[in-house]
Amino acid sequence: MKKIVTAMILLALLFACTKPEPEPQKPEIKGRLNALKNGEAWEAYAHGWKSIDAQKNDYYFSAKDEKTGLIHKFSVKNIPFAENLYEVKPKYDFSNQNDSLIFSTYYIVDYDLGLGDYRLLDRPGNIFHLTHVDSVTRHFSGTLDLEFIVIDKADDLGLPDTIRIKNGVFFGEVMR
């Protein structure tokens, strides 16, 4: 009987001394975009990245569509890291990577499978406005309005022909 009591005490001490496992930490969100996409409220992750030209940055936005599970990604490239209102144009020739054209592209993917490819619609009003930049912390914020038209898409998925991102407000950090 003494052995059973001793074993129970040892087991109780063993379980009392183990620390509970910490809950997994969610990744820190470095940036966010809130906008109207085709008239509906939309939220996406946002971050910046140094472009080929060290004086400019590329800005990336992505979100998973909860209804379809597809990932929507777009970028705005060749933006100087300075507070200013920038007009964004469509890019037709991707062979010249060193040009200074400020352009944007939009993709819909299912992990690594491309399902929708969109180009910026050639119209006035496609803007990317950096309202705040901090060259020390590399944080940025601003607004945007962009409209894309389909180049190629998987027809059987019901993807839109046009994607309008309006009243976009974003913040983020340029990764090094």
For every one of its 176 residues, what pLDDT tens digit does the chain have, with 9 covering 90 and above? 666 656 566 656 556 555 555 555 445 557 999 999 999 999 999 988 876 666 789 999 999 988 888 999 999 999 998 999 999 999 887 666 667 889 999 999 998 888 999 999 999 999 999 999 998 998 999 999 999 999 998 877 889 999 999 999 999 998 86
Which amino acid would we find at residue 93? D
Contact 139, 14 (CB under 8 A): no
**23 domain residue, yes or no:** no
Instruction: Please report whether residue 132 resides in a domain.
Output: yes
Question: Six-digit token pair at 48?
Answer: 């910046």
Is residue 15 domain-resident? no
141 beta partners: 132, 171
Beta-carbon-side half-sphere exposure of residue 57 (alpha carbons within 13 Å)? 23
The answer to whether position 2 is within a domain reads: no
pTM listed for this prediction: 0.78
Kindly state whether residue 98 falls inside one of the protein's structural domains.
yes
Report the C-alpha dihedral over residues 43, 45, 48, 51, rounded to 10 degrees: -100
* Partners of residue 79 on adjacent β-strands: 57
What is the residue range of 48's domain? 29-175
Q: What are phi and psi of 11, to 5 degrees?
A: -65, -40
Residue 66 confidence (pLDDT): 83
Decide if 10 is inside a domain: no
Number of domains the chain is built from: 1
- pLDDT value for 102: 93
Domain presence at residue 5: no
Specify if 55 maps to a domain. yes
